[in-house]
Chain A
């Protein structure tokens, strides 16, 4: 492949395909980014609706309309779809769109690989969902019931179809994110504008560079784990089957070696964009740029050696429990360096509160609660009251939704004028923020409360004493879901050209190369 075929300078390219062909053949980083974002946003609504279905079932004690098997499948699909089909690809879409603009390059380094990564996603989602629908036609026993972690391998062995499809889907998602990771690494390292050193590139590029290396480190391990599981299921091996000399706990080690860094893979892109937004609306430079970069690397390193705190209840040896506990505590330091720097960035600024700023501030609070509620969990002396309760469910939705999703929404509002050339509706944006912030916190704080009171997670039905909290959680979850329709409406209206025309740099305090080209950037 010569560089002439890779580079398609769209500005000077009147024959650039339009309509459907544009989306099929594009190698333009902005179009690929939009494909990623559009598709994964759709998956956000699909996965969200799955959650609302089982939240409706959980609104009152008793099994109303969802049997245990279907409930487990919905929980599993909600987790898998949110993580693999929404958050990760959405962040990939952002990097495709933004990184070249931020580093002054007309393209990403490997656009075709990136596009390949994108087209694997619809396929993967289909593979993931097919067994769920097949069961209604009497084929198979539905999707996997083993939750998104699949870590009860005996349970995986009992499924006939669902686990196989999940494994294949995980492979496809994994290949997709590895392609995305290659693209980021090469783009960031080779395509920066000549005057931009590594130490002067935007934090978002640093964050994504770290995420890309993390992906390359841990996704193959996940593939190994599910691959061995597949072999156990079909080729008569006994990696995880105790009766054949295997060890079910080994799967958990492999899975969580992926699973814990995955948390940082999900939140780091959002963490890395927050300072940019905070600085823009505080009209003040980013505080502690280098400290944040070092924190990313520290978090990536420490995050990769603490997976065992997810397995304290599995009866690991005492020394392992102690090691994983103390190692996990250490992550609180770089994480709080980040929060310190974010607050340092707004401190003594001249703040205004447009929607992106509101979401960015919301993400700080989300991360603060997520982090503080998380330091309790790896405690090897107290884990018994947290592990596998609703407390965990409430806790991990804070970094995932509270930091990552709110952070990405901030990013979308922040760059929407740049992407569409139009301003979004500010009042609707604020309405969206306030309803989201209130209902989100009510939903997941209530989950933590009922979890501390002892309610286990993954249950289709619960004791009377947990009923009040659960009703509140369900109602708040529906409000949270409805609020996202405001978001959808606002974004669609902006894309359709409602709202006033956006300037090249619509935000007074924004800095960065991405604001130099016109809005939308030439294509």
Chain B
């Protein structure tokens, strides 16, 4: 038939040209995954099982509906001389029963086939406290995660470690591009970990697909979830709630290790933190502070204030030639000046993306970064801020 061949010709043409376009440049990465990431925790197992149960039926329903449609499209057409019927509903009791069958089937699928396992999975998901071996407190803030182990006394911040050149300047990208952090979260395997979620600014969501965990961190409220990792390895996730400019750049990296290695890591981390406290008490030279401050700036401040402290006019203030940066941070009697440079860094600015860094940065970090900002980008205050002073003023 003319119409058919015309349609087929067009279909072929459009498909061909489309495929040509899609393959332009070849497949550079050849990764066409469309399955869940391998499940390594009970919640992810549940999700996968429900997904598979559902998928089988969804595909069966799709195929059977399409088959009925295709049959009709092929046979019930005018050019085959088919005379149209005139029925407007099921005409006999048998047909009534037959047409009710799909819907009874649907109710069964919804409430039994999937509804029952979903009930148990949902209940399991909320069972965060029973038998928990370890508590982890996660505090989200704009574009990084702070992890705290209250019982172990460890607290650190984890943020993106992918170099900016790879993101913005087209440098060759590493294997874990955008999924790598400076301080990965370390957790023991086969222990139930209760995860408490908080946020210090806007809503975020802590999500690791391999754990089947996705839960919002809501400012002012405590949310919780849990995980029991069944296999050692490195697992990666990302923030799953749009949270501003750098939403794409707050990954989560979890290293699951044996209980022994976890204990060793805890000891090492504690020693590091104690060393940090001691180092805050010594007097730092200007060069030491500048060097350390540059590192902090490039890790944290740069995402808004940009390289060279130029900022984005109207959005993120510039630090170069900034009035705040070039004015004193301390008054004559040694008190913190409100809305001065140090106050801004310590306490943030309400209602903006400038957050209170006293929660996430150490005395040394703050002293160093403030010193760095006051002596870079053309700012020449010559100030040297000592960590001890930060401790006193915070």
Interface size class of A (residues with CB under 8 A): 35 or more
Nearest residue (CB) in A for B315 is A141
Which residues does chain B contribute within 8 Å of A193, judged by CB atoms? none
Q: Is A175 an interface residue (CB 8 A)?
A: no
Check A456 against B239 for contact (C-beta < 8 Å). yes
Check B175 against A62 for contact (C-beta < 8 Å). no
The distance in angstroms between the C-alpha atoms of A155 and B201, with both chains bound, is: 8
Q: Give the contacting residue for A154; candidates B33, B203, B214; CB below 8 A.
A: B203
Check A313 against B240 for contact (C-beta < 8 Å). yes
Contact A72 to B110, CB < 8 A, known contacts A435-B14, A464-B29: no
Check A475 against B73 for contact (C-beta < 8 Å). no
Q: Give the contacting residue for B219; candidates A154, A381, A461; CB below 8 A.
A: A154
Check A69 against B245 for contact (C-beta < 8 Å). yes
Q: Give the contacting residue for B54; candidates A146, A337, A379; CB below 8 A.
A: A379
Q: Is B10 an interface residue (CB 8 A)?
A: yes
Check A475 against B31 for contact (C-beta < 8 Å). no
Within 8 A of B (CB), among A265-303: 282-289, 291
Contact with A along B26-56 (1 / 0, CB 8 A): 0111111111110000011011101100110
Contact A349 to B76, CB < 8 A, known contacts A283-B84, A333-B107, A465-B29: yes
Which residues does chain A contribute within 8 Å of B85, judged by CB atoms? 284, 347-349
Nearest residue (CB) in A for B120 is A381
Check A326 against B248 for contact (C-beta < 8 Å). no
Within 8 A of A (CB), among B308-367: 312-315, 351-353
Chain B residues within 8 Å of chain A by Cβ, number: 123
Contact A314 to B216, CB < 8 A, known contacts A453-B35, A464-B31: yes
Which residues does chain A contribute within 8 Å of B294, judged by CB atoms? none
Q: Is B6 an interface residue (CB 8 A)?
A: yes
Instruction: Indicate the member of B29, B36, B68, B223 with the most A CB atoms within 10 Å.
Output: B29
Check B248 against A462 for contact (C-beta < 8 Å). yes
Check A442 against B46 for contact (C-beta < 8 Å). no
Q: Give the contacting residue for B27; candidates A249, A463, A468; CB below 8 A.
A: A468
A292 to chain B, nearest CB (A): 11
Q: Is A130 an interface residue (CB 8 A)?
A: no
The distance in angstroms between the C-alpha atoms of A501 and B268, with both chains bound, is: 85
Q: Give the contacting residue for A368; candidates B65, B87, B213, B247; CB below 8 A.
A: B65
Check B179 against A351 for contact (C-beta < 8 Å). no
The A contact surface, by secondary structure, is helix
Q: Is A488 an interface residue (CB 8 A)?
A: no
Q: Is A139 an interface residue (CB 8 A)?
A: yes
Which residues does chain A contribute within 8 Å of B177, judged by CB atoms? 61, 463-464
Which residues does chain A contribute within 8 Å of B219, judged by CB atoms? 154, 242-243, 248
Within 8 A of B (CB), among A336-365: 336-337, 339-340, 343-344, 346-353, 361, 364-365
Contact A464 to B312, CB < 8 A, known contacts A315-B224, A340-B99, A349-B85: no
Q: Is A472 an interface residue (CB 8 A)?
A: yes
Within 8 A of A (CB), among B279-332: 312-315
Which of A12-20, A369-377, A408-416 lies at the interface?
A: A369-377
Contact with A along B158-171 (1 / 0, CB 8 A): 00000000111010
Q: Is A431 an interface residue (CB 8 A)?
A: yes
Q: Is A471 an interface residue (CB 8 A)?
A: yes
The distance in angstroms between the C-alpha atoms of A64 and B102, with both chains bound, is: 50
Check B242 against A146 for contact (C-beta < 8 Å). yes
Check B202 against A155 for contact (C-beta < 8 Å). yes
Q: Is B119 an interface residue (CB 8 A)?
A: yes
Q: Is B209 an interface residue (CB 8 A)?
A: yes
Check B65 against A388 for contact (C-beta < 8 Å). no
Q: Is A157 an interface residue (CB 8 A)?
A: yes
Which residues does chain A contribute within 8 Å of B51, judged by CB atoms? 376, 382, 385
Check B173 against A61 for contact (C-beta < 8 Å). yes
B2 to chain A, nearest CB (A): 11
Contact A469 to B32, CB < 8 A, known contacts A154-B201, A379-B114, A384-B213: yes
Q: Is B385 an interface residue (CB 8 A)?
A: no
Q: Is B273 an interface residue (CB 8 A)?
A: no
Q: Give the contacting residue for B244; candidates A72, A139, A151, A465; CB below 8 A.
A: A72
Q: Give the contacting residue for A383; candidates B65, B166, B214; CB below 8 A.
A: B214
Which residues does chain B contribute within 8 Å of A330, judged by CB atoms? 110
Check A382 against B121 for contact (C-beta < 8 Å). yes
A25 to chain B, nearest CB (A): 42
Contact A350 to B76, CB < 8 A, known contacts A289-B88, A291-B89: yes
Within 8 A of A (CB), among B174-216: 175-179, 197, 199, 201-203, 205, 207, 209, 212-216
Which residues does chain A contribute within 8 Å of B54, judged by CB atoms? 375-376, 379, 382
Which residues does chain B contribute within 8 Å of A343, judged by CB atoms? 65, 68-69, 72
The distance in angstroms between the C-alpha atoms of A462 and B352, with both chains bound, is: 26
Q: Is B115 an interface residue (CB 8 A)?
A: yes
Q: Is B11 an interface residue (CB 8 A)?
A: yes
Check A242 against B221 for contact (C-beta < 8 Å). yes
Contact A141 to B314, CB < 8 A, known contacts A351-B73, A468-B27: yes
Contact A439 to B18, CB < 8 A, known contacts A154-B219, A464-B31, A464-B175: yes
Q: Is B61 an interface residue (CB 8 A)?
A: yes
Which residues does chain A contribute within 8 Å of B110, judged by CB atoms? 326, 329-330, 332, 375
A249 to chain B, nearest CB (A): 6
Q: Give the contacting residue for A72; candidates B6, B115, B121, B247; CB below 8 A.
A: B247
Check B245 against A388 for contact (C-beta < 8 Å). no
Which residues does chain B contribute within 8 Å of A459, judged by CB atoms? 238, 247-248
Instruction: Please list the residues of chain B having a beta carbon within 8 angstroms of any beta carbon in chain A.
Output: 3, 6-7, 10-11, 14-15, 18, 21-22, 24-25, 27-37, 43-44, 46-48, 50-51, 54-55, 58, 61-62, 65-66, 68-69, 72-73, 76-79, 82-89, 99, 102-103, 106-107, 110-111, 114-115, 117-126, 166-168, 170, 173, 175-179, 197, 199, 201-203, 205, 207, 209, 212-216, 218-221, 223-225, 236-249, 312-315, 351-353
With A141-B315, A313-B214, A321-B126 given, name 13 new contacts (CB 8 A): A63-B167, A145-B242, A155-B202, A247-B221, A361-B73, A381-B46, A385-B209, A387-B214, A388-B207, A453-B35, A454-B37, A457-B242, A464-B177
Closest 6 CB pairs of A and B: A242-B220, A381-B121, A154-B202, A449-B34, A459-B248, A329-B110
Instruction: Pick 22 A–B contacts, CB within 8 A, sort by A.
Output: A158-B244, A248-B219, A282-B76, A283-B84, A285-B86, A289-B88, A313-B241, A318-B122, A333-B103, A336-B106, A346-B69, A352-B78, A353-B7, A375-B110, A381-B118, A431-B10, A450-B34, A452-B36, A454-B209, A461-B248, A464-B29, A464-B175
